[in-house]
Amino acid sequence: MTRLIPGILAMAAIVVASNILVQYLFGQWLTWGAFTYPFAFLVTDLTNRFYGAKAARRVVLVGFLVGLACSFIGTQIMGEFGPLVTLRIAAGSGLAFLTAQLLDVAIFDRLRAGKWWRAPLASTLVGASADTVIFFTVAFSAGLAWLEPGNDVAWANEMLPLLGIGPGLPLWVSLALADWGVKLMLAILALMPFRMMTRRWG
pLDDT in tens, 73-90: 887 877 666 677 888 999
pTM exceeds cut of 0.85 = yes
Element (H, E) at 166: none
> Per this entry, what is the length of the chain?
202
pLDDT of residue 81: 63
Question: Where along the chain do its domains lie?
Answer: 2-140+172-201
Residue range 93-147, pLDDT digits in tens: 999 999 999 999 999 999 999 999 999 999 999 999 999 999 999 999 999 999 8
Contact 51, 85 (CB under 8 A): no
Backbone angles phi, psi at 170, to 5 degrees: -55, 145
When pLDDT is averaged across residues 46-73 and rounded to a whole number, the result is: 94
Cα gap 194→196, rounded to integer Å? 6
Round the average pLDDT of the chain to a whole number and report it: 93
Q: Which fold has domain 2-140+172-201?
A: Arp2/3 complex 21 kDa subunit ARPC3 (1.10.1760)
Half-sphere exposure of 136 (CA within 13 A, CB side): 22
Backbone angles phi, psi at 37, to 5 degrees: -55, -40
Helical H segments across 22-86, by residue range = 33-36, 39-51, 53-76
